[in-house]
Structure 1
Amino acid sequence: MRRFLLCLLPVVAACSTSPEQNTTSESAPLDSAELVTEPMDTARPATINAQSDTLKVVRKRHIFSSPSTPDVFTLALRGPNLLSGEATFTITAAGGQVIFREVLTAPDLEAALVYEMKGSTATQAEREAYVRRRMEEFFADKNFQKPALPKAATFQPGLADRAAWDDLHRRSDALGFHYLVGKEDRRVIAWSPLRKQVVRLQ
């Protein structure tokens, strides 16, 4: 009997150890590098925040891709200041789909100031005022023209494809939107019923 009890002692000793102790003893020690980890890239703030960094937004509703329902034209300038931000130009259809998007820099909006300057330089306040005015006039009624392509227009390779261009050239009701980028880059875009997208004509 005594020999039987002596045999049970190791079993009892093993059972007296708690599960927590077993887990702890079997776990590998934490490495110090695991205790302090860098945040994931997705946790880092974006360079430009759409809310806090928005400097100026201009919107206009105008008939464009649909003859009966106006689209929303938006120009939103974001960044640290008016002279070094980015202006996102979008056209959004009535259903909420963005049908056109282009990013312009603040210098793209400011460059034509040289034609209005009285001296060789402009102050920061004058430059900022010009950028604001460019944005406010960006969607002026005079920039929407019908037809999108006048009869005397000639096809420019590298922009819209020839079939879309010819189709718009025949349409007297097609509407074109004109806007200036930089000092002399005058662009014309239009909705192509043939391609079901916005195309650049000039």
Structure 2
Amino acid sequence: MRAVAFAVLFVLATACSAPDSAQTTGPTPPSEAPAAAEPLDTARAPAVTAQSDTLKVVRRRHLFSSPTTPDVFTLALRGSSLLGGEATLTITDGSGQVIFREVLSAADLEASLVYEMKQSTATATEREAFVRKRMDEFFADKNFRTPAISPQQAYQPGTLDRAAWDELRRQPKTIGFQYLVGKEDARRVVWSPLKKQVVQLPGFGG
């Protein structure tokens, strides 16, 4: 009997001292799990869009690179202020291809104000009004000339090679576009059928 009792006590003691595997290898309780990091917000719209800084846009459809399909002439002023912006001049053909692009500063548009000022200085309001006026008149009829080169006009080296010049001079229906940059930089451009691109001619003051 003593042997049996001793054996029972030994078994009970062993069972009580065995490790609890459920406590040592089980999953961490949900309340103790580390918080997951928030995902990055990549779907939020940007604060500034391509159109948000557009201050003024003028457009004009006019024959230029094609004798039958008008091109679109666009002058878009963008920036934080009318007097500190940047104006992009583009000519887009009938197929939607941009065939000419030039960037002008607001100062380029404003500079010729000095010829109209009645006093030594101009207010910011007067300057802004002049920039708007320049843009509104940028594609006026007077700035499109036909032919782009008259038969009597002598060749002037430095802006266009002689072959392209002679070809343009032989075509009476070419259309030139002229515009003023700054106070005195009078520029002229025309579509060259020979080169298949817009080319610059001597300034319309020269």
Q: In structure 2, what is the equivalent of residue 128 of structure 1?
A: 128
Q: Distance in 2 between matches of 1:173 and 1:90?
A: 22
Deviation at 1:45, TM superposition (A): 7.7
Q: Verify: 1:65 aligned to 2:87, yes or no.
A: no
The structure in which a higher percent of residues are helix is: 1
Change (3 A) 1:45 1:155: farther
Query: Highest CA radius of gyration, 1 or 2?
Result: 2
Aligned residues between the structures = 166
Alignment-derived partner of residue 150 in structure 1:
150
Alignment partner, residue 176 of structure 2: 176
CA distance in 1, matches of 2:159, 2:106: 24
> Structure 2 CA distance, aligned partners of 1:106 and 1:50?
19
String of CA shifts for 1:33-81, please: whole Å, max 9, x gaps. Answer: xx9xxxxxxxx988xx530000000000000000000000000000011
User: SS in structure 1 opposite 2:179?
Assistant: strand
Question: What residue is the counterpart of 1:196 in the other structure?
Answer: 196
Q: Which residue of 1 aligns with 2:43?
A: none
Percent identical: 68
1:176 and 1:75 mapped to 2: Cα distance?
A: 17
Displaced runs of 4 or more, over 3 A: none
Match of 1:100 in 2: 100
Scaled by the length of structure 2, what TM-score is found?
0.74
TM-score, length-normalised on structure 1?
A: 0.75
| Alignment root-mean-square deviation, CA | 2.3
What amino acid sits opposite 1:111 in the alignment? A
In 1, distance between residues paired with 2:83 and 2:151?
39
Deviation of 1:154 after TM superposition, in Å, equals 2.7
For 1:80 and 1:156, locate their aligned partners in 2 and report how far apart those are by CA, in whole Å.
41
Ranges in structure 1 where 5+ consecutive residues have no aligned partner: 1-16, 21-34, 36-43
3-state SS in 1 of match to 2:136: helix
**Structure 1 CA distance, aligned partners of 2:185 and 2:47?**
34
CA distance in 2, matches of 1:54, 1:82: 10
Shift of 1:162: 1.8
Within-5 A mapping of 1:4-153: 49-153=49-153
The separation in 2 between residues aligned to 1:146 and 1:68, in whole angstroms, is: 15
Aligned to 2:165: 165
Aligned to 1:38: none
Question: Contact conserved, 1:50 with 1:78, CA < 8 A, in 2?
Answer: no
Task: Work out the CA distance in 2 between the residues paired with 1:104 and 1:64.
Answer: 21
Deviation for aligned residue 1:152? 3.3
